[in-house]
Chains A and B, each alone.
Chain A
Amino acid sequence: SQQGEEDPQALSIQEGENATMNCSYKTSINNLQWYRQNSGRGLVHLILIRSNEREKHSGRLRVTLDTSKKSSSLLITASRAADTASYFCATDRDSGGGADGLTFGKGTHLIIQP
């Protein structure tokens, strides 16, 4: 079953604007990760935020995590055409040490208009 759900499903903005994507999940987690997927390629890891962290930055990326609401957001500032891609959140279920991998949401397709 899908753990994470991204919102919106699609987002189109002008170059230079900020893009915000949201992710909601259902069960307790150890960490939450964001990935980017360019068309026809595999997923590339962007950032990981642990369950005891509230905010994390990496370059133009800012991720927040609210475990009480079971939600996360990814902010891309000063967007560029190269940011056009699909973005996925992924959670690892807090399964007591289980090793059963990540659960991905359905993704947000971001289009940056020049």
Chain B
Amino acid sequence: NAGVTQTPKFQVLKTGQSMTLQCAQDMNHEYMSWYRQDPGMGLRLIHYSVGAGITDQGEVPNGYNVSRSTTEDFPLRLLSAAPSQTSVYFCASSGSPRVPQHFGDGTRLSIL
């Protein structure tokens, strides 16, 4: 089983550029979420989705958009990249928000 797959693994952007981080899961999970991990900060929730067509904001949503057109995919869009968005981004999925989450291996994003 592939589990949760994130692409790309690494990306360097210039300030003001936009891009989409991809996340796909093959476990038929309804719940998916995006976190960012910064040194000394742990993981912080950006956006989450409880099913296709339903998304909501987490703790740090500003500068990011999400959509959920299928159960399998949950892309994260950076609208206009800023240096403060330099981070490692993790996607996770599970059957519900309160059960153990399955994480991808992350996308390491640098904004110059």
Contacts and interface: CB of A to CB of B under 8 A. Distances in A.
Interface of A: 1-2, 4, 30-31, 33, 35, 40-45, 48, 88, 90, 92, 99-107
Interface of B: 4, 31, 33, 35, 40-45, 48, 50, 56, 58-59, 90, 92, 96-106
A63 to B, nearest CB: 13
Nearest to A42: B103
A90 B44 CA distance: 11
Given A31-B98, A45-B100, A104 B43 contact: yes
Given A1-B59, A42-B90, A42-B106, A103 B45 contact: yes
A86 to B, nearest CB: 10
Given A31-B98, A99-B97, A107-B42, A42 B50 contact: no
Contacts of A104: 35, 42-44
B34 to A, nearest CB: 9
A100 B98 contact: no
Contacts of A102: 43, 45, 97, 101
A54 B31 CA distance: 28
Given A103-B59, A104-B42, A106-B40, 20 more contacts: A1-B59, A2-B41, A33-B100, A40-B105, A41-B105, A42-B4, A42-B105, A43-B43, A43-B90, A43-B92, A43-B101, A99-B50, A99-B96, A100-B48, A100-B56, A101-B48, A101-B58, A102-B45, A104-B43, A106-B42
